[in-house]
Structure 1
Amino acid sequence: MNTEELVELGQQLRVDSVRAAAAAASGHPTSSMSAADLMAVLLAHHLRYDFERPAHPGNDRFILSKGHASPLLYSAYKAAGVIDDEELLTFRRLGSRLEGHPTPRRLPWVETATGSLGQGLPVGVGIALAGQRLDRTGYRVWVMCGDSELAEGSVWEAAEHAGHEHLDNLIVIVDVNRLGQRGETRHGHDLDAYARRFRAFDWHTVEVDGHDVDAVDRAYAEALATEGRPIAVLARTLKGKGVADAEDREGLHGKPLKDADEAIAELGGTRAIRVRVQEPPTTRSLHSAGSGQLELPRWEKGERVPTRDAFGRALTALGTARSDVVALDGEVGDSTRAEYFAKEHPERYFECYIAEQQMVAAAVGMAARGRVPYATTFAAFLTRAYDFVRMAAVSGAGINLVGSHAGVAIGQDGPSQMGLEDLAMMRAVHGSTVLYPCDANQTAKLLAATVGLAGVRYLRTSRGGSEVIYGPDEEFPVGGSKVLRSSDADRLTVVAAGVTVPEALAAADALEPEGIRIRVIDLYSVKPVDRETLRRAAEETGCLLTVEDHHPEGGLGDAVLDAFTDGGPVPRLVRLAVRTMPGSADPDEQLHAAGIDADSIATAARLLVEQVIVA
């Protein structure tokens, strides 16, 4: 397209953004209008994409990080001919693919869900890493950000990581329109303020008038010619560009224009320009999963093995069998044992350093490129990245998160290192799977099972050694459990998981000589939970006692309670959990102080069956 045609395309994108928001009586047309020229030049001259084949290995990838500007994205799809005008005007309606913020669940051309600001660039870094180190098909990753979201720390985690990795296949376009939701942004139209920050992380920067289509065209060309560094195109724009009553005015964020018809007329009326987007280059197909035989590590009963060690060895075996498995670490791989994978498969190991938001975002980006990512850190530190976990579920991303050093059982390091909220956090994620193994063989089998699952999968591992109680050929279906002690004389059922399973078994052994028989269930699948086994135990023993190395809110006890929320009778349920703020002590002392060790379980069981033991 020539200059005049690019200008016209930009105006069409503005008009259609106004029309879409007017039809919905909601949305963000002014945020769309500021970036319309930036989108027009990208779509017409620089993006290489086959809309009929979204999975084409040579396709460039585009992420609209400022997801509230979705009218602009949908208007671009209309210009590209992949949606029609009728669908454009279904924006934000029930059942429409055109949601208020775009998601890949609805549209095949969307790489990741956005709308929680500050996430597009970190996910883009993950996609660019996959392109640079794994796919190597030459695609570029374009991320369009707003200036408001550059206040998010996650953006600068991403910027530093991209600079460190020399991601010259990554171009961020910053729509610096000066206005946020409630007024001016931190740096307003000071492009140099943003340029200094990106340059500090070794980015190449280009400052441009975002409404001069020829200048934007040259800026993109300069970006594509840059080698060895990621590129930031910093574009000065005006929110509501082209409509006098809206242009560069505060108080219009997130609102349709007052008089859409008048605004459309001011913008030159509707147009029907169709853009022929460049075809991607011919390239080889991407990786296949591989068909190697999975040979999981095996341990004999009675060995003492930390489940984190079992995880590391099992992940390495999984990586040997499947070439699509990748590992990401938050600079604790020697503790989580992800380093085992790094030694065997260094080309598929990604060190994200202590930047948990970037680590989870990179996992989402890797999943978008067809990989099976395993992101690992201490369970406690995943709390930093929870918004990325939540948004991964919105995207429908298939990612695996592994939290080690869970609970008070880690010992002397104290509460700052203890994951005591992680089960609740991960159970609350839509469509998630939460697994908590108690021994090495169970860990290996559950890890292998996560490959075939959808959504966010969480595996909780432990620091200290635990006795292997299951044989290497035992199976552990997701959604199941194991009944480890059972008899017709059981007076109650103890439900445990992870480190509390051996404590429950020890309590059962201690109580048996006293004539108190208890059933012990290893509820290794915390979500989905084994409702059938729990209900049968409640019917046959009358009382359930849950014991968990986790705060009482949202963890194992609540997972058990959820098995009885169908309106039927609820059994007597008592919960042992970590109810105080722990300090430093050795693991055995920690379990006892928290009231979740074998002695505490046995004491609770005696009280519950009304047995009085006379010293």
Structure 2
Amino acid sequence: MTNTEQKALKKFSAQLRIDQLEMFKQRGMGHIGGCLSVTELISVLYGKQMKFDPKNPSWEGRDYLVMSKAHAAPTVCAALAEKGFFDKKLLLTMDDIGTHIPSHVDRLLTPGVDMTGGSLGQGCSVAAGIAFGLRHMGRDDQYVYVCIGDGELNEGQNWEAFQFLAHYKLNNCIVFIDNNKRQHDGYCTEVLNPFSYEDKMRAFGFWTITVDGGDEEAIDDAINLAKKVKDQAVCIVLDTIKGQGVKYYEDMPDNHAPKVFEEGKAVIDAAIAELKKITEGE
């Protein structure tokens, strides 16, 4: 990655955080922790790696994003708005009656969304199906990117999908595990100890690497490595922090979907001011 590309992605990540924080402040709540932890991933995907056409969201030659941890919709929607899929003003209508910006990804409402998500644990199966279909049609130059939450991996359906991906060696589907270590009810190790994601994915037949999920260059390098893997399913484990990039939310005991009271609004305003130094910097 060149210095210019790295700076551009840093600015894009900062802008995505600004957009999300403004959405949360406007709505008065949101899945703040798990949205912020995947910001750098979404920045790299939409800022560098993915093929897409904002003027034609259903373009057959596009890459696909399946946000299995569907409550990270604000992160995805912020990227789609910044890339011109729809008017950015719509972001502040999140969860309003009649909105096109729900708090869970919805392909029937939001241009550019490839899968509707609500109940967790289903996204990898959908991603596997898309990847299998693309392979069957000989469209090996297209990729499916699926992002799965660590808490979501309590659902057994994910592991069935992993087995399918590995069996058919679908390396055109890159699996990302957002290992932010916390889920709705607490720390993952306390709710249902996951042990080592990397060891488990390798045991399932995946080429697997763990990288810093807050480092755009590390994520980009890992994706480039994954794309060189032949005849094996691929997985990138993202070592992240729930609430990543905003210390107040990183330290909050219950940061899964907190309400934004007056103190939170002040924190958001201060965080936005700091982030704007990045977006407006040279």
TM-score > 0.5 by shorter chain = yes
Q: Is 1:160 matched with 2:177?
A: no
Q: Is the 8 A contact 1:239 1:249 kept in 2?
A: no
Q: Is the 8 A contact 1:66 1:146 kept in 2?
A: yes
Q: What is the CA distance between 1:63 and its match in structure 2?
A: 0.8
Q: What is the CA distance between 1:270 and its match in structure 2?
A: 4.8
Instruction: Map 1:57-456 onto structure 2 (within 5 A).
Output: 57-136=60-139, 138-186=141-189, 193-258=196-261, 259-267=264-272, 268-270=274-276
CA deviations on 1:220-257 (whole Å, 9 max, x unpaired) are 11111112112111011111122222115321211244
Q: Is the 8 A contact 1:202 1:229 kept in 2?
A: yes
Using CA pairs below 8 Å that are at least 6 residues apart, which structure has the higher relative contact order?
A: 2
- Read off the aligned partner of 1:212 and give its amino acid letter: D
How far apart, CA to CA, are the structure 2 residues paired with 1:221 and 1:121? 21
Residues 240/251 of structure 1: CA separation in 2 closer, same or farther (3 Å cut): same
SS across alignment from 2:53: coil
Q: What is the CA distance between 1:27 and its match in structure 2?
A: 1.7
CA deviations on 1:67-113 (whole Å, 9 max, x unpaired) are 11111111111221223331110001001100121211112422221
Q: Is the 8 A contact 2:140 2:172 kept in 1?
A: no
How far apart, CA to CA, are the structure 1 residues paired with 2:17 and 2:126? 27
Q: Is the 8 A contact 1:191 1:207 kept in 2?
A: no
Show the counterpart of 1:29. Answer: 32
Q: What is the CA distance between 1:9 and its match in structure 2?
A: 1.5
Higher alpha-carbon deviation: 252-261 or 156-165: 252-261
SS across alignment from 1:234: strand
- Read off the aligned partner of 1:117 and give its amino acid letter: L
CA deviations on 1:129-149 (whole Å, 9 max, x unpaired) are 000113525210001111111
- Read off the aligned partner of 2:21 and give its amino acid letter: V
CA deviations on 1:528-576 (whole Å, 9 max, x unpaired) are xxxxxxxxxxxxxxxxxxxxxxxxxxxxxxxxxxxxxxxxxxxxxxxxx
Q: What is the CA distance between 1:269 and its match in structure 2?
A: 4.3
Q: What is the CA distance between 1:191 and its match in structure 2?
A: 9.2
- Read off the aligned partner of 1:263 and give its amino acid letter: I
Q: Output the aligned Cα RMSD.
A: 2.2
2:53 pairs, out of 50, 54, 61, with 50
Query: Which aligned segments of 4 or more residues in structure 1 are displaced greater than 6 angstroms?
Result: none
CA deviations on 1:172-205 (whole Å, 9 max, x unpaired) are 11111111112101389x9970011111121111
Normalising by structure 2, we get a TM-score of: 0.89
- Read off the aligned partner of 2:228 and give its amino acid letter: A
How far apart, CA to CA, are the structure 1 residues paired with 2:227 and 2:246? 32
- Read off the aligned partner of 2:108 and give its amino acid letter: R
Residues 167/271 of structure 1: CA separation in 2 closer, same or farther (3 Å cut): farther
How far apart, CA to CA, are the structure 1 residues paired with 2:151 and 2:85? 30
Q: Is the 8 A contact 2:9 2:216 kept in 1?
A: yes
Q: How many residues align?
A: 272
Residues 136/4 of structure 1: CA separation in 2 closer, same or farther (3 Å cut): closer
What are the ranges of 5 or more consecutive residues in structure 2 without an aligned counterpart?
Answer: none
CA deviations on 1:116-135 (whole Å, 9 max, x unpaired) are 11111110000000001135
SS across alignment from 2:247: coil
Residues 5/260 of structure 1: CA separation in 2 closer, same or farther (3 Å cut): farther
How far apart, CA to CA, are the structure 2 residues paired with 1:135 and 1:52? 25
Residues 236/187 of structure 1: CA separation in 2 closer, same or farther (3 Å cut): farther
Q: What is the CA distance between 1:214 and its match in structure 2?
A: 1.3
Normalising by structure 1, we get a TM-score of: 0.42
How far apart, CA to CA, are the structure 1 residues paired with 2:89 and 2:83? 15
What are the ranges of 5 or more consecutive residues in structure 1 without an aligned counterpart?
Answer: 274-615
How far apart, CA to CA, are the structure 2 residues paired with 1:194 and 1:106? 33
Q: Is the 8 A contact 2:68 2:149 kept in 1?
A: yes
Q: What is the CA distance between 1:260 and its match in structure 2?
A: 2.9
